[in-house]
Amino acid sequence: MNPWPQRLQDYLTVRRAMGFTMRRHEKLLTQFTDYLAEQAVATLTIEDALAWATSPRHGDARWWAARLSMVRGFAGYLHAIDPANQVPPGGLIPAGPRRIVPHLYTDHEIAALLQAAGSLSFPLRAATYQTLIGLLSATGMRVGEAIRLDRTDFDADLAAVTVRGTKFGKSRLLPLHLTAAAGLQDYLRLRDRLTPHPATSALLLSTRGCRLRYQRVWEIFHQLVGQAGLIPAPPAKPPRTHDLRHSFAVATLLDCYRNRADVQSMLPRLSTYLGHTDPRDTYWYLSAAPELLVLAADRLEPVEKDPR
């Protein structure tokens, strides 16, 4: 019996439940699974994926890479269910710049970063970077947005911050968890005591009482990554500040699936919270965590009927 059509349909069902149309993927992956059936293979291998992706001899590297990219998504789903299936690594067919694979921080790694930040010289610097890392982790905002926050953008009564001058020129209100709001209030009390007359209206202050500079944030963050001993899992690159945004999005979606929430209705709200103008930019985060595919597949399995 040929198992590949059902495996493909299960994968397409999961992806469509996440908001993807998958029309082009269905066409090409059907060709791929037909190829696997002809080869009489039971598990997906890198060799089979590469052979099929490069089979149109008239195609160029970009077309081959696009075909292999579609197979990679399918392979990741199969591997999460059965590790015997192999996932082709990225870059097998170079075809120009690609999106960087994000490093998804665990709670333990974020705690290690916060601990490393606490060891920075000068109490204000330590508190500022602990607050910055906590804010990025709790809200998924962009680093530039956090740096541009003014003190008046934090509303302690509402437990929210207003992000202004975003990447796409729109402002948005971000509700905070009560612990995050309390942490911001503690930081403000400390910075007011250490720097009662800052030279800026910024929420987050440097040791000189000025607004943080992106380049300096980048330098210190990478110093903290080293101190925390964070090592990325291939094919991810060394952890970046922006990966805290990816981690927030993925963690939010994982929580939705684990809590049996309505993920379809959550996605547009998450997209708005992150400041995306196109929900497709939010959907991309779904491919960063194979665990999401497994949870989605579990959600779609029919509930067993009560034998009574």
Which of 142, 191, 211, 240 is labelled catalytic? Answer: 142
Paired with 132 in beta bridges are none
Catalytic residue status for 177: no
Q: Given 25, 211, 240, 245, which residue is catalytic?
A: 245
Angle at 293 between CA 287 and CA 294, to 5 degrees: 150
Q: Which two tokens stand for residue 34?
A: 């037909």
Which of 24, 98, 167, 208 does the annotation list as catalytic? 167
242 assigned to active site:
yes
Please pick, among 67, 191, 211, 276, the residue that the annotation labels catalytic: 276
Of the candidates 172, 137, 173, 175, which has an alpha carbon nearest to the alpha carbon of residue 159?
175
Distance CA 41, CA 292 (A): 27
- For residue 142, indicate whether it is catalytic: yes
- C-alpha 107 chain-centroid distance: 14
User: How many Å apart are CA 90 and CA 68, to the nearest integer?
Assistant: 9
Options 151, 164, 242, 283, the catalytic residue: 242
- Reply yes or no on whether 245 is catalytic: yes
Cα separation, 64 vs 59, in Å, equals: 7
Q: Would you please indicate which residues are annotated as catalytic (active-site) residues?
A: 142, 167, 242, 245, 276, 285
